[in-house]
């Protein structure tokens, strides 16, 4: 689908009834490339809605056709731990020694692991 905006280099117009551009939320963009199995954070952009965010992410972050999948998530929906919490958050994992591979014997046929 081609629009005049694509040819003039202007940003795509929002859907009817959408917020003015200054009020558009921030979206985080994740791209999966052709060789990868996981999505990697590519950057952020402002868009009126999810569809516009995906289309703009395609135009900005996959110009060389390197992407096969795009995820966008509104930044306000991302919650992160803080560095101050790292001790209480990650220390309980040290109690679970069974998660470490020291208890497993590898077969001799398996040479490179």
The pLDDT score that the predictor gives to residue 78 is: 94
CA distance 26 to 29: 10
Domain ranges of the chain: 4-82
Residue 85 parent element (H or E)? none
Residue 6: predicted pLDDT: 44
Q: Taking the model in full, what pTM does it have?
A: 0.63
Q: What's 66's DSSP letter?
A: -
pLDDT averaged per 10 residues in sequence order, the chain, 113 residues = 44 62 92 92 97 96 89 96 85 69 77 70
In the CATH scheme, what is the homologous superfamily, with its name and number, of domain 4-82? Phenylacetic acid degradation B (3.10.20.520)
Of 10, 47, 43, 8, which is closest to residue 26 (Cα–Cα)? Answer: 47
């Amino acid at each position: 689908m081609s629009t005049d905006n694509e040819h003039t280099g202007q940003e795509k117009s929002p859907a009817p009834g959408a917020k003015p551009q200054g009020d558009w939320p921030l979206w985080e963009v994740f791209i999966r490339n052709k060789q990868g199995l996981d999505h990697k954070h590519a950057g952020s952009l402002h868009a009126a809605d999810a569809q516009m965010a995906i289309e703009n992410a395609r135009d900005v972050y996959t110009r060389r056709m390197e992407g096969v999948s795009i995820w966008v998530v509104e930044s306000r929906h991302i919650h992160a731990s803080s560095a101050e919490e790292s001790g209480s958050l990650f220390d309980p994992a040290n109690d679970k020694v069974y998660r470490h591979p020291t208890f497993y014997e590898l077969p001799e046929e398996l040479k490179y692991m």
